[in-house]
Copies of this chain bind each other. A is one copy, B any other.
């Protein structure tokens, strides 16, 4: 299997092979064949009488030591994955809530509210009285409401309840899956998956859905608070792929997920440029992004994306990265070793995320700019150590238009229909210029030729006039392949879609269509796509599960992707996963996830590893929804 379809990646991988340096692909090969029990989800390690495993072919043990069946084990494992994914998003959102609160309390002056209008509308949505409140007071109230959402209480998690349709909320209440506290929901899953608690697979899966809705709340809160603190993204033109690294610059890569540190670094990059030049870097300071931290600073500051996900090591292997600053999530531990072998300083910044081989420079919101400066300075020092070492920057970069927040999309629509921007989108869905909407999300996965599923599926769907949205590492994949451009629309969009995107792009002064794929942000920003869907549903007066809207994580890796996928299904979306999740050891659970759950929520999982047939299935789902709407 080819490792990647990305030209830049191929260059660096060839060099790594030549130099005998292992990467994630080599380690994966060393891991294969992987344990089939684990792959199928039928391995249980939840007590010290285990590990137990069920023979999925019915020849070995049919029950674990305690009597758990494959159904119970698969459902328990899945629920725990959702809990972990939720915890990651929750931690991210909580962090921002603390930053906002600290600013409101005068403890973190480096976090002034940047988007007061979003703060206002957020407060209003939460039912907070906004009259005669200063920005500080409002910020405090919103931050406190956010922090309250983590604790168990008698009312639903606000960020889950106010961000869905009324019909959805009623469904969630009906099935008892509305969480009343984000951390409480995580804790409940960990309790019910403990030895000898929940053994009923359906009950466990509903527990997982409840936790996934807490994940939705965490994602949405992460988006909202980042917008309040750092500004709501607006379309921005930048570049993507390893070619954005510069030989004669101090290259600092910002990697991880939370803009809480990286945005501050981005804010002060210009101040530090001169220092980089003085250190001998004629091109000054060059910040680049990796993974979702990259998406955050791309969306708000136009900082180019070096790469994402599975290829993060390749950035270091160019030899051109002087410092890589990481916060948390999706940061391969291997970076520590690589950094030790290179001149690169790997800088960890979060107390909960240290990596052997890294320098740890703890970040606190109270002293954000100060720490940010120290970090950049470390990068400049490191550049000096690079000396005359040769770098291998592959000459590949693509234009990448990003920043399509919900507000930005509505803004673009408003250019053509000021009074009723959504009507325009709906009209085009009704008249068939846009057949439906597909949100691409999730990671790359070393099991899949990097970017192949993303790119193939996007082209297939675009040709059939599906409006494409993307977040996270999915958006990164499209960026690397030039699909976040007007040119891609001209090349790949079907007639109707091209028509709409061209009208919008020209009204926006792009001199061409909007990009083929609209980059909505980081993985928490899947909430933005949800907002668009909710707005359309509300306008049409139907629930989410009636819309021709689908989602796909064609190269998913993380537990976060599992929790996002689960809330997408609970939100009513046909949701494609392009790698086989560890559930197939239980045909019963697999059937629930891919079929029966539809009776509960309207959404369901589609598992297919072939991108062409996956696109066909999503297209089929879109057509069925259109039919349901009488279109």
Interface residues, chain A, CB within 8 Å of chain B?
Answer: 24, 27-28, 30-31, 34-35, 37-39, 43, 45-53, 60-61, 63-69, 72, 77, 80, 83-88, 90-91, 94, 147, 150-152, 176, 181-184, 186-200, 203, 207, 328-337, 351-356, 445-447, 556-562, 579, 581-582
Indicate whether A334 sits within 8 Å of B190 (C-beta atoms), given known contacts A176-B351, A354-B200. Answer: no
Contact A191 B48 (CB under 8 A): no
Q: Which residues of B contact A38 (CB under 8 A)?
A: 43, 45, 50-51
Q: Which residues of B contact A207 (CB under 8 A)?
A: 352
The complex places the Cα of A351 from the Cα of B194 at a distance, in Å, of: 14
A195 CB contacts on chain B under 8 angstroms = 329-330, 557-560
Tell me whether A330 and B196 are in contact (CB under 8 A): yes
B43 touches A188 (CB 8 A): no
How many copies of this chain does one complex carry?
2
Given contacts A183-B184, A198-B353, 10 further A-B contacts (CB under 8 A): A28-B65, A31-B64, A34-B51, A48-B445, A63-B333, A67-B337, A84-B193, A195-B559, A197-B329, A199-B353
Neighbour of A446 across the interface among B34, B65, B190, CB < 8 A: B65
The interface residues of chain B lying within 8 Å CB-to-CB of A183 are 150-152, 181, 183-184, 186-187
Closest CB pairs A-B (n = 5): A67-B334, A38-B51, A151-B151, A87-B190, A200-B354
Q: Pick the contact of A194: B69, B85, B556 (CB < 8 A).
A: B85
Contact between chains at B61 and A200 (CB < 8 Å): no
Q: Which of A65, A332, A337 has the most CB of B within 10 A?
A: A65
Q: Which residues of B contact A581 (CB under 8 A)?
A: 48
Partner pick for A152 among B53, B150, B579, CB 8 A cutoff: B150
B-side contacts of A69, CB under 8 Å: 333, 356
Assembly CA distance A53 to B33 (angstroms): 11
A87 in contact with B557 given A152-B147, A331-B197 (CB within 8 Å) = no
Q: Are A49 and B557 in contact (CB under 8 A)?
A: yes
What is the chain B residue whose CB lies nearest that of A147? B152
Q: Provide the residues of chain B in CB contact with A186, threshold 8 Å.
A: 183, 186-187, 190
Please give the distance in Å from A418's CB to the nearest CB on chain B.
43
Q: List 15 A-B contacts (CB under 8 A).
A: A24-B65, A27-B61, A27-B66, A38-B45, A39-B51, A46-B559, A48-B562, A68-B333, A85-B194, A150-B152, A150-B187, A183-B183, A183-B186, A195-B330, A195-B559
Q: What B residues does A85 contact at CB under 8 A?
A: 194
Chain B residues positioned under 8 Å from A35 (CB to CB): 35, 37, 43, 51, 53
A150 to B148, CA, bound (A): 12
User: Across the interface, which residues of B come within 8 angstroms of A48, CB to CB?
Assistant: 445, 447, 556-558, 561-562, 579, 581-582
A188 touches B87 (CB 8 A): yes
Tell me the complex Cα distance, A283–B579, Å: 60
Establish whether residues B203 and A331, one from each chain, have CB atoms under 8 Å apart when the complex forms: no
Most-contacted residue by chain B among A67, A197, A333 (CB, 10 A):
A197
